[in-house]
């Protein structure tokens, strides 16, 4: 009988814990997405497939610009002149 009561209590506790997280959105990882920025020469605009501009906010104090290219993606320095011109295109 002790085993049955223990199992029942465990089941109720598990159900209570699961019900508290149900319906909540998944939290995003705090912090910046870009750990390093591309240090090389300017990337030609024709090689950039898309550009994501993430404004500064509570999770990251820096504006982040992520360039997606055929061979992957890289973070760009938003203060560079060539990056600013890419943003305007």
Q: How large is the average pLDDT for residues 5-19?
A: 58
- 29 is a domain residue: no
Which CATH number covers residue 80?
2.40.50.40
Task: Tell me the whole-structure pTM to 2 decimals.
Answer: 0.62
Q: What is the pLDDT of residues 48-73, one digit of tens each?
A: 999 999 999 998 999 999 999 999 99
Give the whole-angstrom CA distance, residue 31 versus residue 53. Answer: 16
SS (H, E, C) 26-42: CCCCCCCCCCCCCCCCC
- 20 is a domain residue: no
- 8 is a domain residue: no
**Tally of domains within the chain:** 1
**Residues spanned by the domain of 79:** 34-89
């Amino acid at each position: 009988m002790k085993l049955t009561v223990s199992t029942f209590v465990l089941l109720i506790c598990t159900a209570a814990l699961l019900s508290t997280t149900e319906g909540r959105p998944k939290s995003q990882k705090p912090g910046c997405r870009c750990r390093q920025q591309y240090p090389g020469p300017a990337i030609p605009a024709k090689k950039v497939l898309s550009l994501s501009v993430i404004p500064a906010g509570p999770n990251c104090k820096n504006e982040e610009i992520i360039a997606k290219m055929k061979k992957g993606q890289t973070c760009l320095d938003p203060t560079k002149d060539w990056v600013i011109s890419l943003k305007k295109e």
